[in-house]
Chain A
Amino acid sequence: MLLRLDEVQRHFGGVHAVDGVTLDVEKGAIQGLIGPNGAGKTTLVNVITGYVPFQSGSAWLESDQLAGLSAHRVAGLGIARTFQNIRLFKDLSAAENVIVGMHSRRRDDTLAQLGTVPAFRRDQRARVNEAHRLMEVAGLDPGEVGHRPAGTLPYGDQRRLEIARALALQPRLLILDEPAAGMNPSEKQGIRELIERLNEDGLTILLIDHDMQLVMGVCTRVAVLNFGRKIADGTPQEVSTDPGVIKAYLGTGSEREVSSAPGATGVEEVAAEVQAAAATKRSVEPSNAILDVRNLSISYGSVNAVRGASLRVAAGEVVALIGANGAGKTTILSALSGLIKASSGTAVFDGLDLTTAKPSAIVRHGLAHVPEGREILGRQTVLENLELATWARRDRAATATEIAAVMKRFPILAERKNMRAGTLSGGEAQILAIARGLLAKPRLLLLDEPSLGLAPQMVDQVFAAIAEIHRDGTTILLVEQNALRALGIADRAYVIETGQILLSGSGDDLLHNPAVRRAYLGG
């Protein structure tokens, strides 16, 4: 056993980010670690590697206890990692980044570095050669990229360079935190081959990724986290057919049942619920769309987050956009509300070109966006947040009664109206964000992850509110991790994977489509 975790815990305030995880990683294994957004995967890695202190529990790397060690001591013991958000030294050259990674296994030679000691110069040449070798291992051409500042490399090469730098530690265990995030399929294939090659050379790897095809394809064992707890651990086959895992990924119609009896109901049962709900709903693509998005592409620097997505929403519909984390859902919504610019394609909302209009003009035209993470104004009171939400309205006189009506619909807002919004709980803040969206009196409401991070009864309340808003005639485009829940409420849905619309149809059709499960589970 190379790495052994025993009841590792880490809480942040009241949030049990990692709640007693026990895990063994065998020498020579490629251990996968998966779980929905917010499951605690990165926190667990941060605890193991000393970036975040242990709260309780213990961890051993072979015979070395890791709890209580600082990050550089853990690195010295031989655990190297890459980061979810690339953290290279952007202004140093690629080769220098790798040389920095060798630091912890070299003797302290600060004085030698100051002088021109011949021994040091020899040593320096050896380091450069070693850096070039490691870059080759990671699939980079040292002659071409070695001298370039790391920040100027293409995104995929930066990921590879992070791996090369991690290898410079000569680690016993390499932890890769979403190494394939934001990559296209062929780049992902390259990462997969790299992982396999490193493993063949005897390196033990702990892999975190949301791309299930990658994880299920390359790992020898996979552990699944949900809400900070390990819910499954086994071979990829065992894990991908585990009903509890399927439910954690697809969500369920009623979260409370799950918490009382984890794993008791399978996906078929939930599918039946959705089928009943979807039976009455339309599934054809509308011809008279109020929102018409065609071939939309969006990139962040060198990352293509969305590639040629097309979707349509008719007046009065609820349309869901589902897909795994990082698929590009939030990016699409941000482009529709004008927060980010599309690189190509068109998006028209009721005659207004969303790709060129200012965000304020888009809101005035009747499109409101309730963003992921709510973005309420914490320094202002609840009432002030609501009053501000009517900013773009021309009929200012009517808004006082509407604010009163909203507070009647959501009594918690009336109770808290003079409190600063920053003191609200997550669920209350979400209610406030939705109420704020409504007060803009939109014809189209974009909801991004309205149930993320909420307790089950709060999720019910939020979805009840969404259904009610829809009954009142508001068109809704909904992005949601909890796919079953979203499919249950939506007339139609689009499944998005790595920035592309994979398929569309009614909730029922999609649920029985193997591609949906593949988008979520890679199975």
Chain B
Amino acid sequence: MGQQILNAIFIGSIYALFAVGYTLVFGVLDILNLAHSAVFTLAAAVAYTLVVNHGQSFWVACALGIVIAALMGLVIEYLCLRPLRRRRAPPIAALISTIGLALIIVAAIEQGRPGTLFSWLWVDGANPVTMPPGTFPNPTWNVAGLTLEGAKLAVIPISIVLMLILGYVMRFTQVGRGLRAVAENPRAARLMGIDVDRMISLTLVISSALGGLAGILFGVALGDISPYIGRDSVEVRGLAVIVLGGMGSIPGAVLGGYVLGAIEVLAVVLLGSNVRAGVAFAALFLMLVLRPQGLFGAQLRERL
């Protein structure tokens, strides 16, 4: 049971970190960035390739993976969002353009085999891979019948510290006030001299860097890196998490991440491991029926 609780906190941290970036973009732009899970995948793939195929050290590979994820944020903004915003396209158009980008990213990784166009990015095609043992320190302890893996344990403080920093920035700094101003009323923000386009770019950079980090932590700690980790492991769960927490609410996404981690582990313990995939949907569905605004979301108001 202790082991299961530990697992719940570990996987909850990943969900929360992923969902915080997801919900940040939604809060500012009212748009679901469905390329977020592809950025998660890409960062993990980049880190793996840099270590295994390009001989970089683990730490350099992780840093570059996050940088590339952050740059993907700019790609999403300049390619998928800004051109549509200029034409006042409805949010559904941005939803579809980000799905398109996600498919392209996943396909590029999937196509990567030795000798192909994308072999610099990935050589293992659709196969899942694991970081070779010894590329990063992973001490394991046995304490009171629990197996403690260093890599998994490290995920927890890294996620919590980053989320606290993000919360502090949003709540107490001028940049955070500016982001919240853009989220609430872009017109008023413009009149105060805030460059709304730059704030949106910044939002996507922060969001994607966090998403990329979540991907690297997931891939390294679980030893599972493939073109499909984003799609299979966090895409729908991330959506469930931000609905649980309240769309656009950062504390809500954090809490939602841990809640989902906990109910998944609980469901596995009580009902067996084959229910795992369905739990997120069930939670999403129940939340939408019982409390559609989520744990922390503002009361939904009808617009006239």
Contacts and interface: CB of A to CB of B under 8 A. Distances in A.
Is the interface on chain A under 10, 10 to 19, 20 to 34, or 35 or more residues?
20 to 34
Interface string A371-388: 100011111100010011
Nearest to A370: B191
A430 to B, nearest CB: 14
B177 A360 contact: no
B198 to A, nearest CB: 8
B85 interface: no
A339 B174 contact: no
Contact of A369 (B181, B191, B196): B191
Given A387-B174, A391-B174, A379 B191 contact: no
Contacts of B184: 377-380
A176 interface: no
Contact of B192 (A358, A378, A389): A389
Contacts of A391: 174, 178, 192-194
11 contacts: A339-B187, A360-B193, A363-B192, A364-B193, A368-B191, A376-B188, A377-B181, A377-B185, A378-B184, A384-B177, A387-B174
B180 A375 contact: no
Interface in B168-196: 174, 177-178, 180-181, 184-185, 187-188, 190-196
A392 interface: yes
Q: Which of B181, B184, B188, B195 has the most CB of A within 10 A?
A: B188
A337 B196 CA distance: 14
Contacts of B187: 339, 371, 375
Contacts of A362: 193
Contacts of B185: 375, 377
A388 B191 contact: no
Q: Say what secondary structure dominates the interface of chain B.
A: helix
B195 A358 contact: yes
A387 B190 CA distance: 15
Contacts of A375: 185, 187-188, 191
Given A360-B190, A384-B177, A388-B177, 19 more contacts: A339-B187, A358-B195, A360-B194, A360-B195, A364-B193, A375-B187, A375-B191, A377-B181, A380-B181, A387-B177, A388-B174, A388-B181, A389-B192, A391-B178, A391-B192, A392-B193, A392-B194, A436-B192, A440-B193
Q: Say what secondary structure dominates the interface of chain A.
A: loop
A391 B191 CA distance: 10
Contact of A388 (B190, B192, B196): B192
A375 B184 CA distance: 10
A32 interface: no
Contacts of B190: 337-339, 359-360
Q: Which of B185, B190, B193 has the most CB of A within 10 A?
A: B193
A376 B192 CA distance: 10
A316 B55 CA distance: 67
A364 B195 CA distance: 11
B41 to A, nearest CB: 34
Contacts of B195: 358, 360
Given A388-B174, A388-B177, A391-B178, A377 B188 contact: yes
Contacts of A339: 187, 190-191
A503 B140 CA distance: 84
Q: Which 3 A-B pairs have the closest CB atoms?
A: A392-B193, A363-B193, A375-B188
Contacts of A360: 190, 193-196
Q: Which of B185, B187, B190 has the most CB of A within 10 A?
A: B190
Contacts of A371: 187-188, 191
Nearest to B171: A384
Contacts of A377: 180-181, 184-185, 188
B191 A337 contact: yes
Contacts of B188: 371, 375-377
Contacts of A358: 195
A377 B187 CA distance: 10
Contacts of B196: 360
B177 A380 contact: yes
B45 to A, nearest CB: 37
Interface in A326-381: 337-339, 358-360, 362-364, 368-369, 371, 375-380
A436 B180 CA distance: 16
Contacts of B192: 363, 388-389, 391-392, 436, 440
Nearest to B195: A360
Interface string B215-233: 0000000000000000000
A294 to B, nearest CB: 24
A320 B192 CA distance: 22
A363 B193 CA distance: 5
A362 B193 CA distance: 7
Interface in B84-119: none
Nearest to A379: B184
A338 to B, nearest CB: 7
Contacts of B181: 377, 380, 388
Contacts of A337: 190-191
